[in-house]
Amino acid sequence: MPATPEPGADPIQLMVDPAVAAAPQPFYAHLRDRCPVARSAGINGEAVFVSRHEDVSWALRHPEVFSSAAEAVDIGQEQPLIPLQVDPPDHARYRRLLDPEFSPRTVATLEEEARVLVNRLIDRFADRGACDFHEEFATPLPSTLFLTIAGLPHDDLPTFLRWRDNTIRPDVAPGDVEAAARIRAQTSHEISEYFTAAIAERRARPDDRLLSRIVHAEVEGQRLSDTELLGICHLLLLGGLDTVTATLDCMIAYLARHPDRRRRIVEDPGRVPGAIEELLRWETPVQVVPRIVAQDVTLRDVTIPAGTHAVLVLGAANTDPAEFTGADVVDFDRPRNRHLAFGGGPHRCLGSHLARFELRVAIEEFHRRIPDYDLAPGAELRWSPGIRQADALPLEWDPGR
């Protein structure tokens, strides 16, 4: 059976403890060193947490063992999230359709539109000398860009953000699994109702935006069913509205606390892509990804029976010294950065190219306009666990400089 972690280091803390989310790297090291395949009571029953890079990478590459099927995670969805919750070989059918929509070439066509949006957001607070970066920049940027790409009304953004939070961070008492499940189920129903109407509208009146293209696309000569379309839309909503927000929070908080490293990208914007990759590795906003074990497997002499819930700890894998030389050093010039912040294997994040693009434009433009900033005096950042997003991120700067 899997090993049991030492008292005080239950890996479930990664998913429930804001204190661990605030500074997770020591916790990652403890798991890797003391209990790399660890049993925990979990949130919805017993789970196994896998934390070393070699093992996490192997699990991501073998969905026939560590399946991403709908049983892996229940967020109240009424249909599988496509393509995330569909394993090969069917997974490939959907990726052939969707990958071109998020390819580097397609994403590059958004450059001008994205820079205009970024600067419009900065215009609102640049002369003020202060902002809540999370609320005024990190949240509206990817969310508004997603609505633009999809061809959905910007006026619907508050509703989309409520659905995002109800799904990922439902406002319930700690440990109240039943209340969280009720909120997620109701939210899933509302999302399905919204996109059922949006899909019908695009069938009647096509346009040139993403949702319409998907509605009218064919997979192996067949149009997608309503169930398939709803599964795609539900996943795109969650991916488009949450993970880039969390990543921007993590990156700007780090750069605010490390002005020496911030100056490097201000003085040489060509280093921004390398900085993004390294901060994805070190900060790893999506700390964990869930899987369900589809067949008995043994990792590090630990037997994991089929049907076990598994949690792959991306953050621990990304700071594993067995994979990264100087793993505890943040190096914007790291030459070989095989981080797993976007996962890996067949289920590697569909929107990774779009995310990198959004991050690059945001970091470049923000530091061009506001190169020198600090956390507001006395600010105590609070981070959500699982996906590391700040409740608020107050920044200050001298608007005259």
DSSP 224: P
pLDDT bin (cut points 50, 70, 90) of residue 5 is: low
Tokens of 178: 């039943």
- Predicted confidence (pLDDT) at residue 42 exceeds the cutoff of 90: no
CA distance 243 to 238: 8
Q: pLDDT for 59-88, tens place per residue?
A: 999 999 999 998 888 788 888 999 999 999
What residues contact residue 84 under an 8 Å CB cut-off, 6+ apart?
68, 235, 347, 350
Tell me which amino acid residue 378 is. Answer: G
Relative to beta strand 218-219, strand 130-132 is unpaired
Q: Which whole number is the average pLDDT over 2-22?
A: 78
- Predicted confidence (pLDDT) at residue 341 exceeds the cutoff of 90: yes
What residues contact residue 301 under an 8 Å CB cut-off, 6+ apart?
none
222 falls within a domain: yes
310 falls within a domain: no
Q: Which whole number is the average pLDDT over 80-107?
A: 95
CATH label of the domain that carries residue 378: 1.10.630.10
CA distance 4 to 10: 8
Query: How many domains does one find in the chain?
Result: 1
Range scoring the smallest mean pLDDT among 79-88, 173-182, 184-193, 255-264: 173-182
Q: pLDDT for 206-252, tens place per residue?
A: 999 999 999 999 988 899 999 999 999 999 988 888 899 999 999 99
Question: What local confidence, expressed as pLDDT, does residue 2 receive?
Answer: 53
Q: Cα dist. 372→51, 65, 139, 187, 263 in Å?
A: 36, 48, 21, 40, 8
CA distance 110 to 116: 10
CA distance 344 to 336: 16
Q: pLDDT for 122-152, tens place per residue?
A: 999 999 999 999 999 999 999 999 999 999 9
For residue 214, give its domain range.
Answer: 76-287+331-396
pTM assigned to the model: 0.94
Question: What local confidence, expressed as pLDDT, does residue 74 receive?
Answer: 79
Top-confidence residue, 39 or 284: 284
Q: pLDDT for 377-390, tens place per residue?
A: 999 999 999 999 99
80 falls within a domain: yes
CA distance 389 to 245: 7
135 falls within a domain: yes
Tokens of 94: 């959907």
- Predicted confidence (pLDDT) at residue 3 exceeds the cutoff of 70: no
- Predicted confidence (pLDDT) at residue 8 exceeds the cutoff of 60: no
Question: What local confidence, expressed as pLDDT, does residue 91 receive?
Answer: 95
Question: What local confidence, expressed as pLDDT, does residue 213 receive?
Answer: 96
143 falls within a domain: yes
305 falls within a domain: no
Question: What local confidence, expressed as pLDDT, does residue 73 receive?
Answer: 82
122 falls within a domain: yes
278 falls within a domain: yes
- Predicted confidence (pLDDT) at residue 1 exceeds the cutoff of 50: no
pLDDT bin (cut points 50, 70, 90) of residue 328 is: very high
Question: What local confidence, expressed as pLDDT, does residue 6 receive?
Answer: 58
Average pLDDT, the chain: 93
